[in-house]
A and B are shown apart, each in its own frame.
Chain A
Amino acid sequence: MLNFFGRNQSRDVAKNRLRNVLAHDRADTSPEFMEHLREDVMRIVSEYVEVGGQGVDLHLQSVEDHVALVANIPVKQLRRRGRSGNN
């Protein structure tokens, strides 16, 4: 919400900054969290693509005013039909 002078209310700024900092804090203080997330993402992704190499990179990144979950997964080739195809 904007105030009279068109600035963001400091309450909203505080909330947003907290969400961002806590995303990083929670990921940093619990290494298993990112590991489990990586395993689950890879399990689903491999139903659709054949993953090439070992260089799977998954991390949180602050982008302007929000946090992004960034994945870089090298693809060898797409599977023909995806989940149900099993090929």
Chain B
Amino acid sequence: MGEVIVITSGKGGVGKTTTTANLGVALAQLGLKTCLVDADIGLRNLDVVLGLENRIVYDLVDVVEGFCRLRQALIRDKRLEGLSLLPAAQTKDKTSVTPEQMRGVTEELRAEFDYVLVDSPAGIEQGFKNAIAGADHALIVATPEVASVRDADRIIGLLEAAEIPPARLIVNRLRPGMVRKGDMMSVDDIVDILAIDLIGVVPEDEQIVVTTNRGEPAALSQGSRAGEAYRAVARRIRGEEVPFAEFGEPAGLFGRLRRMFGQA
């Protein structure tokens, strides 16, 4: 029986969908059968980030309304053995699916897959409630900004109330140079404030824009720092101990001098 993990954040635009796509790729690369579920009904996006938008026939709402079987709605990624997508409906709204129906879908999927990753919509309303309904665990995506961390805190409270085990945090779009200059909160600052376990740190990376333009998630190929970070998260999801790369903790005068002379 596979594990169902919801990827959520509260605030929009912090990288939930990019994170879901890349973790799906990275888990499949590890040989794990992975299904990505787009729970953002009405604002379907995971398909374009994955580059699978032209292959959609049926969607999540078709499945719960009984127009097709679950298997018919799944799109298999031809680039990568073991990765599938269950797309959201674009023309319906969030009330077309109930939390019970969502739980039914994830239960059916976990029988087939090692991991089921649910991409949650922004906000704390019906769409969010649907996304967490069948989840065993949650990953919270937050960027080092006041609004994002505040919303993440609210989400952590709601997940606790829903009795989903303690969520783990992915700090996304970190800019190490700004942290060193004291102009961005560090990973430690955020972990300290939210008081949850960290599972990943993804640095800001222009390659994310380029790879998303092409519909080829960064984790598919080598050579992107963000892709590398997502691969590390995937291994931690699987239970491996992977050391965290150092990102921008202030190193004091000595560290700055060393960097100046190119020794760090």
Q: Are A26 and B153 closer than 8 Å at their CB atoms?
A: yes
**Residues in A neighbouring B181, C-beta threshold 8 A:** 9
Q: Are B179 and A29 closer than 8 Å at their CB atoms?
A: no
Q: Are B146 and A3 closer than 8 Å at their CB atoms?
A: no
Q: Can you name the residue of chain B whose Cβ is closest to the Cβ of A30?
A: B157
Q: Are B157 and A29 closer than 8 Å at their CB atoms?
A: yes
**Residues in A neighbouring B186, C-beta threshold 8 A:** 11
Which of A10, A14, A22 neighbours the largest number of chain B CB atoms within 10 Å of its CB?
A14
Q: Are A17 and B157 closer than 8 Å at their CB atoms?
A: no
Q: Can you name the residue of chain A whose Cβ is closest to the Cβ of B180?
A: A11
Measured CB to CB, the residues of A under 8 A from B are: 1, 3, 9-12, 14-15, 17-19, 21-22, 25-26, 29-30
Q: Are B154 and A29 closer than 8 Å at their CB atoms?
A: yes
Return A44 CB to nearest CB of chain B, in Å. Answer: 25
Q: Is the interface of B mostly helix, strand, loop or mixed?
A: helix
**Residues in A neighbouring B185, C-beta threshold 8 A:** 11, 14-15
Return B219 CB to nearest CB of chain A, in Å. Answer: 29
Q: Are A9 and B157 closer than 8 Å at their CB atoms?
A: no
Q: Are A14 and B146 closer than 8 Å at their CB atoms?
A: yes
Return A70 CB to nearest CB of chain B, in Å. Answer: 23
* B253 CB–A CB distance under 8 Å: no
Q: Are A12 and B182 closer than 8 Å at their CB atoms?
A: yes
**Residues in A neighbouring B149, C-beta threshold 8 A:** 18
Q: Are A10 and B157 closer than 8 Å at their CB atoms?
A: no
Q: Are B146 and A17 closer than 8 Å at their CB atoms?
A: yes
**Residues in B neighbouring A19, C-beta threshold 8 A:** 193
List CB contacts (< 8 Å) of B183-205 with chain A. Answer: 183-186, 189, 193
